[in-house]
Structure 1
C-alpha cells in the first residue's frame, strides 16, 4: 500500500515536469528526502546544470526534495522500476539489498571523514558502485553523510550504561538495529519523516544523525541532548535507474557519470559549510552537547556486529582494505 501511494505521488508530481521538459529534450527526475538548500539537493541541481551545458540542453535534472516522492525505502523501489530516474539515498537503506553497502555502514569503520573520502574515492568505493548494477540501478557517486551521533529527549549520554533501555530511531537497516542493541538500547526502524513527532509524543526517546540533519529536521527542538560519540560515518550515494540510464546513448552515459563525479567536490564544500552553520544554530538553541565521552567501550561493543555481518571472504577483504587505507 505504501508503494502504491508513493508511486501515485511520483506520477502526480511528474506534472511539474511539463515546463522543465519544454526546455530540455530529457528531464531526469531526481528524489531527495532532504529540504531545499541542503548540500545533497544543491549538488544534484549543480549536476543538472553541468548536464544541460555539456549536452547542449538535451539533458536536465529536476530535483524533488523534501521527500516529495516518498521516503527513502519507497523511492529506492521506484528508482529500480524506472518511475524515478535518479535518487540520493543514504547507504543504510541499501544494506539489506546490496551486501557490499554493509561494509561502509559498519560502526567505527572509518577513522575520520578524510579517511572515508580516500576509501570511497578509491577501489573499494568503485567496487561498491559496481554492485548496484545487479539491482536495476547504476551507482554514480558518493556524497558525505557526516558523522552520526546519538541525540535524545531524556538525559545526557556519557557512557554505554546511559543508553540502557532507551528507544532510538534508526534507518531501516539490520546493521543499525544490531548496533543499537549491542549498546543496550532498543532500536526502532522508521522513516526519517516520522522521527520528529515520534520523539515529541514519546514513541521513541531519540535518534542518531549528523549536525545538518539534526538541525534541518528540527529534531534538536524535541531532543536536546546530543552526544558526539560519532559511531557512524556513512556515505550517501547517488544512483540512477538502470532503465533510465540504458535509454541514453553511450556518450550521454559518460557525460552523466562524469557530471556526477564533478558534483562530489561541490557537495563536500557545501557540506563543510553547512556543518558549521548547523552546529552553531544548535548550540545557540541551548542544546546540551556532550563531548566528554570515552569511545573505547562503544567500539569494543561492536565486535559481535562485525562478526555477524563480515562473514564472507569478499566482505572481510573489503574491511581489511579499508583499514589499510592511509
Structure 2
C-alpha cells in the first residue's frame, strides 16, 4: 500500500510539473457526435491529469476556417479534429477510408483503420502533429430528390461530394460532382445548385435534409474517418505522465466513439424516416454496378501508390 501511495504521489508531482491549456478546434457544431466525443475526451484528460491538462473544445470550426492540418502544423491551434479524406495535404494515405465499398461494415472499417494507422501516423508526423484517436462516420449514402435504383438514375444528379474519391465516383456513375464547403450545402440545395449529397445519415440529420430532399439510399459508399490531432511541439512540451494520461483517455474515447457512431447511425436513420424521408437499401442491380465502378477506382488509386500503401490492401484482403 505504501509503495502504491508513493507511486501515485510521484505521478501527481509529475503531472503538476507543467500545467497547460490546449485549445481544440472542433469542425462541427456542439451537438455533433464527434464534437461531443471531443468534449468527453477533454473531460477524461482533465480527470486523468487531476486538472493539470485542460483541453478547451471550440465547436463549429470557430478557431480554424481553413485547412486544419496546416493550422496545427503551424501551431495556430494546438489541437483539432479533422475529416481525414477531405484534409488537403493528406495525400493517398488520408484517402484510404473514403475509397468506395472497401469496408462493408463497421468491423471492416475498424480493421482497415488498424492496418492503415501507421500510414496515417506517418503523414501526420510530416505535418508536425500526432493523431490521438480516429473514429468512423456512419456509412455514407446518397441523398436525392428521386429514387436511385441503377446508375442510369444518376444522369440528372448534381451531388455535393466530400473529397476527390467521392467526386470521381459520382462522375464515373454518370452524375455531376460539385465541391462545396459544408456550410453552403443547404442553401445550394434550396437554390438547385446541387440536388443530391453523398454523406452519412448523421450529416443528413444534422442538416435537416428532409426539408430539401426526399430519398436516402443506403449504398454504404464508405466509412470515412474523423481524427483528433495535436501539434508535435505542444505534445513534446508535455511531461511523460501528461502524455500517458492523454493517450489513456484517447484509447478509451476511441473505443467509445466507434460505438457512438453505430448508435448515431440508428438514431439518424430513424429521424430521417420520422420526418418523411424515404430510406431504402441498395438494389441488387445498383450494388452490382457500383461494385464494378469501385473496382476500377481501386485499381486507379493503387496504380501509382507507394509500396507501403499497396501493402495495406494486400493485408486487408488477405484476412
Cα displacement (A) at 1:42: 1.7
The counterpart of 1:45, out of the listed 22, 39, 50, is: 39
Counterpart CA distance in 1 for 2:98 and 2:265 is 20
Cα displacement (A) at 1:287: 0.5
Counterpart CA distance in 2 for 1:270 and 1:104 is 18
Counterpart CA distance in 1 for 2:210 and 2:237 is 43
Aligned Cα RMSD in Å? 2.0
Cα displacement (A) at 1:292: 4.7
The counterpart of 2:239, out of the listed 249, 259, 283, is: 249
Asked if 1 retains the 8 angstrom alpha-carbon contact of 2:26 and 2:38, the reply is no
Cα displacement (A) at 1:118: 2.6
Cross-structure match for 1:302: 294
Which structure is larger by alpha-carbon Rg, 1 or 2?
Answer: 2
The counterpart of 2:134, out of the listed 130, 142, 145, is: 142
Does residue 215 of the first structure (1) align with residue 200 of the second (2)?
no
Cross-structure match for 1:288: 278
TM-score, normalisation: structure 2: 0.87
Counterpart CA distance in 2 for 1:95 and 1:156 is 33
Distance 1:130 1:141, change over 3 A: farther
Cα displacement (A) at 1:138: 0.9
Cross-structure match for 1:18: none
Cross-structure match for 1:33: 27
- Total equivalences in the alignment: 298
Instruction: Give ranges in structure 1 of 5+ residues lacking alignment.
Output: 1-23
Cα displacement (A) at 1:263: 0.7
Cα displacement (A) at 1:93: 1.6
Does residue 226 of the first structure (1) align with residue 220 of the second (2)?
no
Cross-structure match for 1:261: 251
SS in structure 2 opposite 1:68?
coil
The counterpart of 1:169, out of the listed 160, 168, 174, is: 160
Asked if 2 retains the 8 angstrom alpha-carbon contact of 1:98 and 1:132, the reply is no
Q: Deviations over 1:185-210 (max 9, x none)?
A: 11111111111111111111111111
Cross-structure match for 1:192: 182
Counterpart CA distance in 1 for 2:167 and 2:183 is 18
Counterpart CA distance in 2 for 1:204 and 1:70 is 26
Cross-structure match for 2:85: 92
SS in structure 1 opposite 2:220?
strand
TM-score, normalisation: structure 1: 0.85
